[in-house]
């Protein structure tokens, strides 16, 4: 059971690639704990300090004057906003009981409205929606700027819910109990102040809760260290401790599985991003689910699934990294160690994800980063070989991605699929395994003329000979004369895969202008399973940068573009990628957009939630600094270096990576007299850098216009 905190700690941003779709707000900066030597820009780490914010305002004004205050920017922004606000977008839903629930933002509801409908209504062109919570109306009443961050409702009635609201778009949220029948927050109900909290229902009068209980209750990564059981009508201080982790743990959480006949309680202790311990709670006792700490476990009804991240030998059998294994949960807890292999990877195929229905398991596989689905049916009775029935599920068009949007594992074999590609707007399909074939329920509109473009996949050898794939979206009949403005996007971390996906924003703001758009599937990602990710961990991090550089060079070799016409873009861990393109390979690019980035790798574990990523990058306070220093852009930028134009953008409210690394990098480069260094900081939006569609459109338009202008 992969903790929700691992997903929060991930720090993924796919800026511009997804048009339709995861308290203590002071910085965790502790200069005394990590002397920064001659770092003259430590003062910019005071996130809300007057001096630092004055600097931000001056930078924003200069950047806006250069790239925002003109008619071209307004056209780009409005074009993107039209995509984000379109009433014709698919309103993606998740089932809770008899209703389908959706959270929707548009021009009339910039902060969004939480609503529901029935399947019969949803099939209609214009469904009738029942509004539950209007966040904009709530903000007007409370004089706040709440950002909706999700909801968890109590099974099986789904009448009481825990709503999470962020004051600025960051990860820290207020939690309030909400009554669906009354469409109102419950007076005197469960409520938590703003913090990085984890809450979940046990029953209608009891919660599991991890939050800021006071000094020492949060980990060094800024997530809950203590899981407690909290009874209705009692003060939070009276909640009973279930598990107390160490300050060095990433996070601790507890959960209750309410599946009828299979009710179980679990405690998850994330040691770092890739290692955790899982315990079953029985009364006041905890029993360890004995498996490798780097494996992910999932209990569903009588089954236990284990997804390996490293080779595992147990019970005389050997299982590879990236495999999916199955056994009976109770048998495993009783000491039996016999598994059935549901999936084993090969050189070109990996497991992207899986989803349970009531009686089946859907596997989402990637063949060279392209999707296909399989349906597995567990044996109805125990058999000596434990065979599971396996069937292919109808696939998607070439160069496409299939995503299981939702299932109803407690009650039925219903499933919802999203099918998309770079040039194919999403279609939402609905079906019931063994009963109803998938049918298209909703079709997203086209926001640009896809007939003008072609998608191709290419492979290039990296510096060490590794075969690295990349996707290219380009005008048909592209002249391979080196003169095409080309934007190369990458991430390369945390086992995140960049798969084909439609983006009206990219289509309008880049492709329709005549540009070429390229996605690099570099190591560090999950395109070929955990080994692809592990190939770029810690001391091997430069392999990801070599891969990205190899793609850039291949684009030039093939005549698609040239260095002066080639731009690069990435955010979060992809922002660190951009920082290293800037300092390691400046000769390859004509401009770089570096978004919500990590850049100061000497100080990153002391900034915001940075300590949670040591398993990815290493610990700069110890001997790991000997290799981290080689990919720390803030330390490696030099006064006598020659760098392409660069735009750094971030958000004051980003409590994951934080804004200070982008601030310091821009300030250092400007102090070194490098020209064409630009910086912009949005006040809201958290790690996504936009609290609503208007802000998101503004930030993306600025990046695209900057790159387009610099690459001419």
Q: What is the largest CA-CA distance in the chain?
A: 73
* Stretch 129-153: mean pLDDT: 97
User: Does the pLDDT value for residue 171 go beyond 50?
Assistant: yes
Residue 258 domain flag: no
pLDDT per position as a tens digit, 22-63 = 322 222 233 333 344 579 999 999 999 999 999 999 999 999
Residue 253 domain flag: no
Beta bridge partners of 424: 421
Tell me what pLDDT residue 386 has: 65
Tell me what pLDDT residue 396 has: 64
Report the alpha-carbon distance of residue 259 to residue 257 in Å, rounded: 6
Q: Which of 20, 125, 82, 91 is nearest to 448 (CA)?
A: 82
Between 17 and 393, the more confident residue is 393
Q: Pairing between strand 206-210 and 226-231?
A: antiparallel
* Stretch 627-652: mean pLDDT: 97
pLDDT per position as a tens digit, 487-517 = 999 999 999 999 999 999 999 999 999 999 9
User: Does the pLDDT value for residue 7 go beyond 60?
Assistant: no
User: Does the pLDDT value for residue 19 go beyond 90?
Assistant: no
Give 279-318 as a 3 state SS string. EEEECCEEEECCCCCCCEEEEECCEEEEECCCCEEECCEE
Residue 659 domain flag: yes
Q: Report the number of secondary-structure helices (H) and strands (E) in the chain.
A: 15, 39
Residue 277 domain flag: no
Assign 683 a pLDDT band (cuts: 50, 70, 90): confident
Percent of the chain with pLDDT over 70: 93
User: Does the pLDDT value for residue 4 go beyond 50?
Assistant: no
pLDDT per position as a tens digit, 387-414 = 899 999 876 677 889 999 999 999 999 9
Residue 527 domain flag: yes
Report the alpha-carbon distance of residue 222 to residue 32 in Å, rounded: 18
* Stretch 2-28: mean pLDDT: 38
The number of CA neighbours under 13 Å toward the Cβ of 455 is 18
Non-local (6+) Cβ contacts of 479 within 8 A are none
Report the alpha-carbon distance of residue 327 to residue 338 in Å, rounded: 7
User: Does the pLDDT value for residue 565 go beyond 70?
Assistant: yes
Residue 336 domain flag: no
Report the alpha-carbon distance of residue 80 to residue 507 in Å, rounded: 9
Q: What is the CATH number of the domain that holds 556?
A: 3.40.50.1820
Q: Which of 433, 459, 6 is nearest to 198 (CA)?
A: 6
Do the Cβ atoms of 665 and 648 come closer than 8 Å? Answer: yes
* Stretch 566-587: mean pLDDT: 98
Assign 150 a pLDDT band (cuts: 50, 70, 90): very high
Residue 38 domain flag: no
Residue 48 domain flag: no
Q: Which domain holds residue 584?
A: 55-82+448-594+636-710
Report the alpha-carbon distance of residue 429 to residue 437 in Å, rounded: 9
Point out the residues that are catalytic. Answer: 572, 687
Burial profile 93-104: b = 16 or more Cβ within 10 angstroms, e = fewer: bbbbbebbbbbb
Question: How many domains in the chain?
Answer: 1
User: Does the pLDDT value for residue 107 go beyond 70?
Assistant: yes
User: Does the pLDDT value for residue 157 go beyond 60?
Assistant: yes
What region does 183 belong to: left with phi over 0, alpha with psi -120 to 50, or beta? left
For residue 559, the tally of other CB atoms under 10 A from its CB is 14
pLDDT per position as a tens digit, 309-359 = 999 999 899 999 999 999 999 999 999 999 999 999 999 999 999 999 999
Tell me what pLDDT residue 385 has: 55
* Stretch 233-245: mean pLDDT: 97
Please state, rounded to an integer, the average pLDDT across all residues of the chain.
92
Tell me what pLDDT residue 11 has: 40
Tokens of residue 64, six digits = 């806006």
Report the alpha-carbon distance of residue 45 to residue 38 in Å, rounded: 15
Between 65 and 6, the more confident residue is 65
Q: Give the DSSP H/E element, type plus range, for residue 550.
A: helix 542-557
Tokens of residue 342, six digits = 């549901």
pLDDT per position as a tens digit, 434-493 = 888 889 999 999 999 999 999 999 999 999 999 999 999 999 999 999 999 999 999 999
DSSP string, 621-643: TTTTHHHHGGG-HHHH--TT---
The number of CA neighbours under 13 Å toward the Cβ of 99 is 19
User: Does the pLDDT value for residue 73 go beyond 50?
Assistant: yes
């Amino acid at each position: 059971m992969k903790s929700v905190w691992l997903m929060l700690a991930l720090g993924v941003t796919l800026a511009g690639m997804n048009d339709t779709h995861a308290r203590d707000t002071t910085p965790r900066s502790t200069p005394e704990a990590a002397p920064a030597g001659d770092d003259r820009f430590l003062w910019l780490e005071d996130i809300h300090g007057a001096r630092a914010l004055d600097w931000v305002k001056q930078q924003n004004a200069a950047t806006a004057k250069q790239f925002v205050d003109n008619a071209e920017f307004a056209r780009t922004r409005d074009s993107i906003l039209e995509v984000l606000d379109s009433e014709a977008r698919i309103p993606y839903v998740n089932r809770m009981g008899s209703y389908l629930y959706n959270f929707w933002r548009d021009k009339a509801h910039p902060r969004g409205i939480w609503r529901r409908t029935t399947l019969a209504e949803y099939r209609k062109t214009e469904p009738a929606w029942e509004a539950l919570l209007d966040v904009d109306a709530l903000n007007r009443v409370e004089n706040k700027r709440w950002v909706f961050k999700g909801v968890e409702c109590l099974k099986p009635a789904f009448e009481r819910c825990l709503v999470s609201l962020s004051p600025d778009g960051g990860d820290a949220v207020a939690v309030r109990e909400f009554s669906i029948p009354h469409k109102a927050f419950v007076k005197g109900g469960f409520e938590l102040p703003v913090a990085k909290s984890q809450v979940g229902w046990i029953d209608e009068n009891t919660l599991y809760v991890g939050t800021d209980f006071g000094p020492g209750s949060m980990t060094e990564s800024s997530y809950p260290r203590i899981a407690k059981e909290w009874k209705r009508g009692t003060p939070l201080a009276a909640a009973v401790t279930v598990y107390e982790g160490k300050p060095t743990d990433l996070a601790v959480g507890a959960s209750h599985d309410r599946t009828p006949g299979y009710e179980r309680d679990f405690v998850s202790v994330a040691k770092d991003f890739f290692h955790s311990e899982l315990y079953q709670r029985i009364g006041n006792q905890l029993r360890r689910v004995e498996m490798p700490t780097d494996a992910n476990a999932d209990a569903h009804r009588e089954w236990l699934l284990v997804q390996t991240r490293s080779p595992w030998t147990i019970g005389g059998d050997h299982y590879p990294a990236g495999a999916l294994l199955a056994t009976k949960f109770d048998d495993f807890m009783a000491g039996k160690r016999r598994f059935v292999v549901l999936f084993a990877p090969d050189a070109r195929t990996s497991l992207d994800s899986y989803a349970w229905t009531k009686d089946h398991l859907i596997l989402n596989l990637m063949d060279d980063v392209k999707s296909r689905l399989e349906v597995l049916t567990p044996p109805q009775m125990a058999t000596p070989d434990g065979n599971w029935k396996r069937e292919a599920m109808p696939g998607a068009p070439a160069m496409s991605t299939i995503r299981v949007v939702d299932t109803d594992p407690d009650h039925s074999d219903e499933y919802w699929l999203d099918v998309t590609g770079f040039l194919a707007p999403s279609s939402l399909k609905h079906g019931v395994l063994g009963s109803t074939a998938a049918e298209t329920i909703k079709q997203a509109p086209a926001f640009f003329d896809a007939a003008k473009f072609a998608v191709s996949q290419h492979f290039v050898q990296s510096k060490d000979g590794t075969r690295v794939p990349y996707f290219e979206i380009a005008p048909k009949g592209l002249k391979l004369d080196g003169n095409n403005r080309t934007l190369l996007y990458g991430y390369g971390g945390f086992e995140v895969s960049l798969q084909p996906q439609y983006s009206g924003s990219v289509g309008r703001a880049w492709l329709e202008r005549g540009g070429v758009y390229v996605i690099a599937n570099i190591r560090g990602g999950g395109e070929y399973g955990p080994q692809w990710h592990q190939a770029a961990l810690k001391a091997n991090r430069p392999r990801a940068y070599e891969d990205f550089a190899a793609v850039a060079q291949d684009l030039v070799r093939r005549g698609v573009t040239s260095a002066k016409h080639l731009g690069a873009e990435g955010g979060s861990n992809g922002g660190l990628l951009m920082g290293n393109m800037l300092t390691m390979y400046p000769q390859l690019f004509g401009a770089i957009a570096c978004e919500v980035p990590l850049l100061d790798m000497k100080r990153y574990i002391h900034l915001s939630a940075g300590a949670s990523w040591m398993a990815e990058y290493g610990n700069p306070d110890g001997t790991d600094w000997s290799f981290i220093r080689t990919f720390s852009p803030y330390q490696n930028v030099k006064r006598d270096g020659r760098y392409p134009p660069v735009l750094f953008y971030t958000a004051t409210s980003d409590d994951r990576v934080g804004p200070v690394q982008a601030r310091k990098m821009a300030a250092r480069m400007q102090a070194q007299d490098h020209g064409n260094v630009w910086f912009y900081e949005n006040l809201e939006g958290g790690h996504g850098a936009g609290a609503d569609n208007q802000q998101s459109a503004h930030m993306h338009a600025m990046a695209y216009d900057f790159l387009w202008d610099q690459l001419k």
